[in-house]
Amino acid sequence: MDTTGADDDLELDLAICTACGADITDEASAYGIPNGEWLCLGCAVARGGRFDAGDERWLAAPDLEGLALRPS
Ligand SMILES: [Zn+2]
Protein backbone atom coordinates (compact mmCIF):
# COMPACT_ATOMS: atom_id res chain seq x y z
CA MET A 1 0.00 0.00 0.00
CA ASP A 2 1.49 3.26 -1.12
CA THR A 3 0.37 6.26 0.89
CA THR A 4 3.21 8.60 0.06
CA GLY A 5 2.12 12.09 -0.86
CA ALA A 6 -1.52 11.16 -1.25
CA ASP A 7 -2.99 13.70 1.14
CA ASP A 8 -2.93 16.74 -1.08
CA ASP A 9 -4.52 14.90 -3.98
CA LEU A 10 -7.18 13.07 -2.05
CA GLU A 11 -10.02 15.42 -2.81
CA LEU A 12 -9.15 15.59 -6.47
CA ASP A 13 -8.86 11.82 -6.75
CA LEU A 14 -12.31 11.37 -5.32
CA ALA A 15 -13.95 13.98 -7.49
CA ILE A 16 -16.28 12.53 -10.08
CA CYS A 17 -19.02 14.07 -12.15
CA THR A 18 -22.20 13.64 -10.20
CA ALA A 19 -24.20 13.34 -13.43
CA CYS A 20 -22.17 10.89 -15.54
CA GLY A 21 -19.56 9.54 -13.12
CA ALA A 22 -16.56 10.71 -15.13
CA ASP A 23 -13.42 11.49 -13.18
CA ILE A 24 -12.90 15.18 -12.67
CA THR A 25 -9.31 15.51 -13.79
CA ASP A 26 -9.29 19.27 -14.18
CA GLU A 27 -11.17 21.20 -11.54
CA ALA A 28 -10.53 24.44 -13.39
CA SER A 29 -12.95 23.42 -16.13
CA ALA A 30 -15.43 21.49 -14.01
CA TYR A 31 -18.38 23.05 -12.27
CA GLY A 32 -18.20 22.85 -8.48
CA ILE A 33 -21.62 22.37 -6.93
CA PRO A 34 -21.97 24.22 -3.63
CA ASN A 35 -22.43 20.97 -1.68
CA GLY A 36 -18.97 19.81 -2.77
CA GLU A 37 -19.93 17.65 -5.73
CA TRP A 38 -18.85 18.29 -9.30
CA LEU A 39 -20.17 18.36 -12.81
CA CYS A 40 -17.77 17.68 -15.66
CA LEU A 41 -17.55 20.32 -18.33
CA GLY A 42 -19.66 18.32 -20.79
CA CYS A 43 -22.50 17.72 -18.37
CA ALA A 44 -22.48 21.27 -17.07
CA VAL A 45 -22.63 22.71 -20.58
CA ALA A 46 -25.36 20.25 -21.54
CA ARG A 47 -27.35 21.62 -18.59
CA GLY A 48 -27.06 25.18 -19.76
CA GLY A 49 -23.83 26.20 -18.06
CA ARG A 50 -21.54 28.56 -19.91
CA PHE A 51 -17.82 28.35 -19.23
CA ASP A 52 -15.30 31.02 -20.14
CA ALA A 53 -12.20 28.96 -20.95
CA GLY A 54 -10.04 32.07 -21.14
CA ASP A 55 -10.89 33.24 -17.64
CA GLU A 56 -11.57 29.71 -16.35
CA ARG A 57 -14.79 30.76 -14.73
CA TRP A 58 -18.46 30.06 -15.18
CA LEU A 59 -20.56 32.79 -16.77
CA ALA A 60 -23.82 30.89 -16.28
CA ALA A 61 -24.48 28.15 -13.78
CA PRO A 62 -25.78 24.82 -15.05
CA ASP A 63 -29.25 23.67 -14.10
CA LEU A 64 -28.87 21.15 -11.28
CA GLU A 65 -32.46 19.96 -11.41
CA GLY A 66 -32.90 16.21 -11.45
CA LEU A 67 -29.44 15.39 -10.09
CA ALA A 68 -29.27 13.05 -7.14
CA LEU A 69 -27.22 15.34 -4.97
CA ARG A 70 -25.93 14.33 -1.59
CA PRO A 71 -27.17 16.39 1.30
CA SER A 72 -24.36 18.80 2.18
ZN1 LIG B 1 -20.40 14.47 -16.53
Report how far ligand 1's centroid is from the alpha carbon of 6 (Å): 25
Does residue 29 contact residue 51 with C-beta atoms inside 8 Å?
Answer: yes
Q: Domain segments of the chain: what residues?
A: 7-60
Report how far ligand 1's centroid is from the alpha carbon of 46 (Å): 9
72 residues of the chain, pLDDT tens digit each: 655 554 555 554 579 999 999 999 888 889 999 899 999 999 999 999 999 999 999 999 999 999 988 886
pTM of the entire structure? 0.76
The neighbourhood of ligand 1, an ion, using CB within 5 A, equals 17, 19-20, 22, 40, 43
Report how far ligand 1's centroid is from the alpha carbon of 41 (Å): 7
